[in-house]
C-alpha cells in the first residue's frame, strides 16, 4: 500500500492549534478551555470552549477575531469570567453559562489580567498596569501619534520588559470589581508591581505577591502578602529572603501554599520548591527541600506561547497535600506533595503536562498535554480507577496527511563523565543504508529543558531530510540543582563540551554524514551557536537566533542584563570585564569561517538586536565566510513561539534555505 502522507511544512504552522487553561466546573460535569489557532488572515484567535464530560460534547462559547483567555467559573458554576481584547485592550468580561450575551466588566486604561473569583461569587480580583495618577475607571488609552510623548524620563533600571514593553511609568496593581455594580476598589498602589494570588475561604483576605523592597531594581526578592479586602493592615508572610509566587489557601483557610526559592547568588538557576505557611502559628516551611526536582513546567516547545497560567499548588480537600506540575528528565507530570514532605507521582509518562484542573469531590482531573507527536490535547484522568481518557484531537484532521518522525531517546557521556539526555529525530522517509546530514539544535534559557513535547521546527528539518539532534546539556532543568547551576560562570566550558560529545555520539551511527553538520539555537542557544563556530570549522553552516555575542554590552542593554550577567557569567563590566570578554563569542570572530545566518527581532529587549548588529558588522568588516542578517520589525524575544505568524513562517523558511544551501 502506497504511503501518501507528506512531511510537515513551514506553512503548516498556520493550521496547528492547541488547547490550554482547562477549568472544571464546580460540580465536575463540565470543563472550559481555550483553543488557540490562526485564522484565514494569519492572525491569532483564542476562543473559549465548553466540554461536557457527561455526553462528550464540545461547544464554542466565544468566537470572532479576538483573543479570549483565562476563563474562570463562578463558585456556583452558573457564570464565567474571562479576559478578552474584543473591545480593544484586554478587559474582564462576564458570561452567564445559559445565555449567549457577554458583559464587559472592566475598562482599565491599559487592560487587565489574572482574574480570580471571590468565594461568594460577587466580586473578581484582577491585576492591571497603571501609570502614576491613573485610575481603573477612566477608559482605555488611545496610543495615537499625537499622544506619544516628546521625551521620556527614565528614573529606574527596570524600565523596560520584553513581555510588556516600556514600563517606565507603569506598575502592576491589584484591584477588585463588583460584577453587579461594576464598582472597582484598588487594593494596592505605589511604584511596586503586584500579582494576584487567591482569596481566603471567608473572602476577607486576598493573597498577593510583590517586590516592595527599598530598591526593587537591586533587591529581587518577591514576598507573599495578605491584604484585607475591606481595608486595614497587611500581613507579610515571607521574610524577603527569596522569590515566591502563586499563593493558594487551603480549604480551611489555615494554611497558605506557594512556589518559590530562597535567594542566593542564583536567581534563575535555582530549583523552585513548595512552601507552606501556617497562618495562625506564623511559620513557613519548605516541604520539598529534599526533593531535587523543579516545580513547574520547564519544557520548551515552539507551537505554544510560554507563560501559560500555572495552577500553582492545588490543595486536596483534606488539606494534607497539594497537586503540582514538576519537570524531570525531559518530562513534566503531576505530583502530589504531602505535608510531611513525601511526594507521589500522580500522572507521569514521556510527555509534557502544561496545565491541569482538579476535582476534589470526584478525585479526578483534566489536563493539557503535549508529546513528541502531538502539539496539545486535553485528557481526563480518574484517579480512583487510574484510567485516562482523551477528550480532544484538535489537530487530528491536519495530521492525517502528515508523516512525522518519532524521536529516539539517547543518553551519552558528557564532560567530566556526566550523563546527558538527548533525542534523535531521523529524517522522514529514512532508509537503512543511506547517509544523512545532521543538525544540532541548542535550547535557550539556559535553564529550561528539551523533552517529550512537540517541536514543529525539528519536524520540519526532519521532513527536509536532516537528522535532528537535541540534548539537555548542563544548565538545563530536569536533572537536579547541581546540574542546573553547573554552567554558571562557565558559559562555553563544560556546557559546550556536553554538546560536542553529543555530536561525537551521533556521528558513530552509520546513517549520519559527519562531513555535513549544521548547528542552530536561539537566545542562550544562539550564544552557544556563536561560540561553537568560534572554536573551529566542524559545522558546514550555522543559524543563530536572538543571540548574545558580547556580554559587556549585554549588561547595559538587556532588560535583565545587569543582574543576569552577575549570576550567569559571574562578572560585571567594572570589576572583571576580562571575564565577560572571555565568554563573549565576538572575541572569537577571527576564527569564524562557518556560513552564518543571523536572525533577530527588532523589539527584542531580552537579547537586544545590537548583539546581532555587532556580530554581523564585525564578520562583514573582516570579510569572513558567508553571513546574512535577517531583521524582524516589531518582533520581541518570543517571536519564534508567539510572534507574528508570517514572521514565524519566514524564519523557518530562512532556516531551511540556509541549511539546504550550505549543508
The string of pLDDT tens digits covering residues 31-42 is 999 999 998 889
Report the domain count for the chain.
1
- Residue 104, beta-bridge partner list: 93
Structural domain contains residue 490: yes
Closest to 368 (Cα-Cα) out of 638, 51, 95: 51
Q: Give the confidence band of 169 by pLDDT, cuts at 50, 70, 90.
A: confident
Structural domain contains residue 113: no
User: And the C-alpha cell for 139?
Assistant: 477608559
Closest to 162 (Cα-Cα) out of 544, 552, 609: 609
User: Alpha-carbon distance 250 to 313, whole Å?
Assistant: 10
pLDDT of the residue at 68: 96
Q: What average pLDDT does the segment 206-227 reach? A: 93
Q: Give the confidence band of 201 by pLDDT, cuts at 50, 70, 90.
A: very high
User: And the C-alpha cell for 56?
Assistant: 462528550
- Please identify which residue in the block is written with the cell numbers 516547545: 301
pLDDT of the residue at 219: 87
Structural domain contains residue 613: yes
Return all residues near 32 (Cβ < 8 A) that are at least 6 apart: 22, 23, 25, 48, 49, 50, 51, 61, 71, 73, 80
Structural domain contains residue 109: no
Say if pTM beats, i.e. exceeds, 0.75: yes
Q: Is the pLDDT of residue 12 over 80?
A: yes
Q: Is the pLDDT of residue 269 over 90?
A: no
Q: Is the pLDDT of residue 555 over 50?
A: yes
Phi, psi dihedral angles at 656 (to 5 degrees):
-60, -45
pLDDT of the residue at 141: 62
Structural domain contains residue 278: no
For every residue of 451-504, DSSP letters joined together read -SS--HHHHHHHHTT-EEEEE--TT-SSS-HHHHHTTTT-TTTHHHHHHHHHHH
Structural domain contains residue 44: no
What percentage of residues in the chain have a pLDDT greater than 70?
A: 97
Catalytic residue among 523, 553, 565, 642: 523
User: Alpha-carbon distance 517 to 537, whole Å?
Assistant: 10
Q: Give the confidence band of 265 by pLDDT, cuts at 50, 70, 90.
A: low
pLDDT of the residue at 306: 62
Task: Classify residue 659 by burial, with Cβ atoms within 10 Å: 0-12, 13-18, 19+.
Answer: buried
Element (H or E) spanning 318, and its range? none
Closest to 136 (Cα-Cα) out of 97, 84, 98, 171: 171
pLDDT of the residue at 308: 61
Contact 8, 649 (CB under 8 A): no
pLDDT of the residue at 131: 86
Q: Which domain holds residue 453?
A: 399-549+584-662
Has 637 been annotated as catalytic?
yes
pLDDT of the residue at 48: 96
Q: What average pLDDT does the segment 84-106 reach? A: 91
Q: What average pLDDT does the segment 519-545 reach? A: 98
Angle (CA) 615 621 626, round 5°: 70
pLDDT tens readout for residues 594-605: 999 999 999 999
Catalytic residue among 443, 456, 600, 637: 637
Structural domain contains residue 646: yes
In order of 515, 545, 549, the CA distances from 6 in angstroms are 28, 28, 38
Element (H or E) spanning 224, and its range? strand 223-228
CATH assignment at residue 618:
3.40.50.1820
Per residue, the 3-state secondary structure of 386-408, as one string, reads: CEEEECCCCCHHHHCCECCCCCE
Mean pLDDT over all residues of the chain? 94
Structural domain contains residue 366: no
Q: Give the confidence band of 144 by pLDDT, cuts at 50, 70, 90.
A: very low
pLDDT tens readout for residues 557-583: 999 999 999 999 999 999 999 999 999
Contact 37, 17 (CB under 8 A): yes
Q: What average pLDDT does the segment 168-192 reach? A: 92
pLDDT of the residue at 311: 83
pLDDT of the residue at 267: 73
pLDDT tens readout for residues 112-123: 999 999 999 999
- Residue 173, beta-bridge partner list: 128
Q: What average pLDDT does the segment 441-459 reach? A: 97
Element (H or E) spanning 509, and its range? none
Q: Among 125-139, 176-190, 503-517, 633-647, where is mean pLDDT lowest?
A: 125-139
Q: What average pLDDT does the segment 7-11 reach? A: 97
For every residue of 101-163, DSSP letters joined together read -EEE----TT--EEEEE-TTSSEEEEEEEEETT--TTS------TTTS-S-----SS--EETT
Closest to 204 (Cα-Cα) out of 217, 187, 191: 187
pLDDT of the residue at 145: 47
Has 113 been annotated as catalytic?
no
pLDDT tens readout for residues 360-391: 889 999 999 999 999 999 999 999 999 999 99
Q: Is the pLDDT of residue 91 over 90?
A: yes
- 10 Å Cβ neighbour count for 340? 8
Phi, psi dihedral angles at 264 (to 5 degrees):
-140, -145
Amino acid at each position: 500500500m502506497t504511503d501518501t502522507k507528506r512531511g510537515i511544512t513551514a506553512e503548516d504552522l498556520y493550521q496547528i492549534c492547541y488547547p490550554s487553561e482547562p477549568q472544571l466546573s464546580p460540580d465536575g460535569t463540565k470543563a472550559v478551555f481555550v483553543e488557540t489557532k490562526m485564522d484565514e488572515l494569519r492572525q491569532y484567535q483564542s476562543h473559549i470552549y465548553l466540554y461536557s464530560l457527561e455526553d462528550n460534547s464540545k461547544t464554542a462559547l466565544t468566537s470572532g477575531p479576538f483573543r479570549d483567555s483565562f476563563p474562570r467559573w463562578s463558585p456556583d458554576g452558573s457564570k464565567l469570567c474571562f479576559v478578552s481584547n474584543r473591545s480593544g485592550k484586554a478587559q474582564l468580561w462576564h458570561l452567564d453559562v445559559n445565555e449567549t450575551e457577554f458583559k464587559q466588566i472592566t475598562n482599565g486604561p491599559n487592560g487587565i489580567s489574572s482574574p480570580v473569583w471571590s468565594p461568594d461569587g460577587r466580586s473578581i480580583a484582577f491585576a492591571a498596569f497603571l501609570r502614576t495618577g491613573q485610575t481603573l475607571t477612566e477608559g482605555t488609552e488611545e496610543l495615537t501619534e499625537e499622544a506619544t510623548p516628546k521625551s521620556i524620563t527614565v528614573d529606574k533600571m527596570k524600565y523596560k520588559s520584553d513581555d510588556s514593553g516600556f514600563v517606565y511609568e507603569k506598575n502592576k496593581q491589584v484591584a477588585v470589581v463588583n460584577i453587579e455594580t461594576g464598582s472597582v476598589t484598588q487594593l494596592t498602589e505605589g511604584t511596586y508591581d503586584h500579582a494576584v494570588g487567591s482569596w481566603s475561604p471567608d473572602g476577607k483576605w486576598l493573597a498577593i505577591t510583590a517586590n516592595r523592597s527599598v530598591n526593587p531594581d537591586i533587591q529581587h526578592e518577591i514576598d507573599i502578602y495578605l491584604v484585607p479586602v475591606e481595608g486595614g493592615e497587611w500581613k507579610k508572610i515571607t521574610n524577603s529572603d527569596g522569590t515566591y509566587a502563586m499563593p493558594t489557601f487551603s480549604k480551611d483557610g489555615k494554611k497558605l501554599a506557594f512556589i518559590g526559592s530562597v535567594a542566593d547568588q542564583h536567581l534563575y538557576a535555582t530549583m523552585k520548591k513548595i512552601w507552606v505557611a501556617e497562618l495562625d502559628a506564623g511559620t513557613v516551611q519548605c516541604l520539598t527541600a529534599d526533593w531535587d526536582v523543579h516545580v513547574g513546567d520547564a519544557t520548551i516547545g515552539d507551537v505554544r506561547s510560554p507563560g501559560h497560567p500555572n495552577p500553582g499548588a492545588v490543595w486536596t480537600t483534606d488539606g494534607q497535600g497539594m497537586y503540582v506540575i514538576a519537570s524531570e528528565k525531559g518530562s513534566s507530570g503531576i505530583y502530589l506533595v504531602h505535608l510531611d514532605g513525601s511526594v507521589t507521582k500522580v500522572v507521569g509518562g514521556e510527555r509534557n503536562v502544561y496545565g491541569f484542573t482538579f476535582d476534589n469531590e470526584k478525585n479526578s482531573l483534566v489536563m493539557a498535554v503535549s508529546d513528541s507527536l502531538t502539539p496539545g490535547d486535553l485528557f481526563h484522568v480518574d484517579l480512583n480507577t487510574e484510567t485516562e481518557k482523551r477528550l480532544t484531537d484538535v489537530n487530528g484532521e491536519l495530521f492525517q496527511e502528515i508523516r512525522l518522525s518519532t524521536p529516539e531517546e539517547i543518553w551519552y557521556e558528557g564532560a567530566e563523565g556526566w550523563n546527558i539526555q538527548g533525542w534523535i529525530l531521523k529524517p522522514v522517509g529514512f532508509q537503512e543504508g543511506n547517509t544523512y546530514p545532521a543538525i544540532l539544535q541548542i535550547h535557550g534559557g539556559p535553564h529550561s529543558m528539551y523533552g517529550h513535547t512537540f517541536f514543529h521546527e525539528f519536524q520540519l528539518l526532519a521532513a527536509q531530510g536532516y537528522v535532528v539532534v537535541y540534548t539537555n546539556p548542563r544548565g538545563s532543568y530536569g536533572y537536579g540543582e547541581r546540574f542546573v547551576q553547573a554552567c554558571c560562570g562557565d558559559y562555553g566550558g563544560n556546557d559546550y563540551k556536553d554538546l560536542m560529545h553529543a555530536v561525537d555520539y551521533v556521528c558513530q551511527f552509520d546513517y549520519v554524514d559527519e562531513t555535513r553538520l549544521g548547528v542552530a539555537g536561539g537566545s542562550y542557544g544562539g550564544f552557544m551557536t556563536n561560540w561553537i563556530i568560534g572554536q573551529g570549522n566542524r559545522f558546514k553552516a550555522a543559524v543563530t537566533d536572538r543571540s548574545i555575542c558580547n556580554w559587556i554590552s549585554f549588561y547595559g542593554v538587556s532588560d535583565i542584563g545587569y543582574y543576569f550577567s552577575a549570576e550567569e557569567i559571574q562578572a560585571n563590566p567594572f570589576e572583571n570585564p576580562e571575564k565577560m570578554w572571555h565568554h563573549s563569542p565576538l572575541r572569537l570572530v577571527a576564527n569564524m569561517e562557518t556560513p552564518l545566518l543571523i536572525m533577530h527581532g527588532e523589539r527584542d529587549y531580552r537579547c537586544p538586536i545590537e548583539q546581532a548588529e555587532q556580530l554581523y558588522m564585525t564578520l562583514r568588516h573582516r570579510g569572513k565566510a558567508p553571513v546574512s542578517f535577517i531583521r524582524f520589525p516589531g518582533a520581541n524575544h518570543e517571536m519564534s513561539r508567539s510572534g507574528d505568524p508570517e514572521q514565524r513562517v519566514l524564519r523557518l523558511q530562512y532556516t531551511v534555505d540556509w541549511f539546504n544551501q550550505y549543508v
